[in-house]
Structure 1
Amino acid sequence: MSAESGAGQPKAQRSAAGNVAFGAGMLLVLATAVLGAFAAVALLGRTVDPGPLSDVVPDDGHNALVVGGIAVGGLTGLMLPVILFGMVRGTEANGGTPRVGPAAAARKVLAVLVFDIWLLIVALLVAQLGWFLPARLTTVVAVFAVGFGWMPLAMVPWERFGLGEGFGKLRGRSASRQAK
């Protein structure tokens, strides 16, 4: 059972060096995601325990900020290398994926930072449940609230604000199949 290429499409050949480069890239992205999560948790822990948020966040809500820190650090650590790879990798030839320009990369980084701020606000709001709920229950609610925190942003009609024109367009072979 082998996968065959489409009609008229040459078979993609990967060299050993390409496989090693892909594996190294994946390890780098995963490492930055994990390290970003640890760094965000460490920074949030310093702002809550002896820092400026110590009066705002109850003791039973501390884990909600840890959950938010994991999400923020992991997302940022995952997306920044991917955006940077997109700036140096890509080609316009043969309908391939084009490189990401500096302006588009800056917009993507800004979008990641705005989303990070949104997730921190969600985590801070859930942490307030620590005034009423025990720590374990607050942590469970935080996992669901932060995990599904992207849904309100996904429902905004970004196209009306001029921010989402390129998201729904197909490229490459799938676009040529849709055109038929």
Structure 2
Amino acid sequence: MSVGSGAGESRGRSPGRSVAGNIAFGAGLLLVLATMTLGAFAGVALTIGLADDSFLSPVVPDDGRNAVGIGGIGMGGLLGLMLPLLLLAAVRGTEEKPRLGPGEALLKALVLVLFSVYLVVVSLLAAQLGWILPEGITTLLSFFIVGFSWAPVALIRWERFGLGGMAGLRPKARVQGGSDKSD
């Protein structure tokens, strides 16, 4: 039995796909990746600008400047990735998964912005290592500090607040075949 497909399954296209649908999916994927990348660049420019030319400049040491940029990457990348997906979920819906209402979409967008600000605050805290550590070590440690700072937030039960952890944006899992037993 081959590894790629089950017995009796064809390797052809599924009946629900079309060339136009594939092109639309590809265009949407490119749009989301572009907004994520541009958002990350914009986040870095914003946070480095805050670290250099604002009221935060005395707080951020020279060796901690890259840590603030790492927080900007997280902030901008997250906003650039999720806001187009939120807009898509607000205008597109099916019978199984209705579209997001304006209030729910706005609430989820506000939560995204607050989480992005949280990432910047964590990066400002990581930048404080620059007072005692050299720049390279501060940058390396801040990468892990900012990168794993979402873990405590992930443990919060967002369903209590009516947010559901952005479950409205994820596609539902489809079960292929009639059996879930492994060989």
- Report the TM range for the smaller structure's normalisation: 0.7 to 0.9
What letter is aligned with 1:56?
Answer: V
Which residue matches 2:91?
Answer: 88
* C-alpha separation in 2, matches of 1:89 and 1:102: 12
Which residue matches 1:18?
Answer: 21
Shift of 1:154: 1.4
Give a deviation string over 1:33-86, Cα, whole Å, max 9, x none.
Answer: 000010111111211112221100000000000000001000000000001111
Aligned partner of residue 99 in structure 1, secondary structure: coil
Aligned partner of residue 90 in structure 1, secondary structure: coil
Root-mean-square deviation over aligned CA pairs: 2.5
Which has the higher mean CA deviation after the structures are superposed, 100-109 or 53-62?
Answer: 100-109
What letter is aligned with 1:77?
Answer: G
Which residue matches 1:119?
Answer: 119
Structure 1's unaligned 5+ residue stretches are: 6-10
Which residue matches 2:155?
Answer: 155
* C-alpha separation in 1, matches of 2:123 and 2:56: 13
* C-alpha separation in 1, matches of 2:140 and 2:166: 36
Query: What are the equivalent positions in structure 2 for 1:43-54 lying under 5 Å apart?
Result: 43-54=46-57
Aligned partner of residue 84 in structure 1, secondary structure: helix
The TM-score normalised by the length of structure 1 is 0.82
Shift of 1:155: 1.8
Percent pairwise identity: 55
Give a deviation string over 1:121-174, Cα, whole Å, max 9, x none.
Answer: 11000000100011111111111011111111112233455554995xx96756
2:68 to 65, 68, 76: 65
What letter is aligned with 1:26?
Answer: L
1:38 aligns with 2:38: no
Shift of 1:98: 2.0
Aligned partner of residue 124 in structure 1, secondary structure: helix
Regions of 4+ moved over 6 Å: none
1:74 aligns with 2:72: no
Shift of 1:100: 1.6
Which residue matches 1:8?
Answer: none
* C-alpha separation in 2, matches of 1:125 and 1:145: 9
* C-alpha separation in 1, matches of 2:93 and 2:49: 40
Which residue matches 1:103?
Answer: 103
Aligned partner of residue 156 in structure 2, secondary structure: coil
| Cα separation, partners in 2 of 1:125 and 1:12, compared to 1, 3 Å | farther
Corresponding residue pairs, total: 166
Structure 2's unaligned 5+ residue stretches are: 179-183
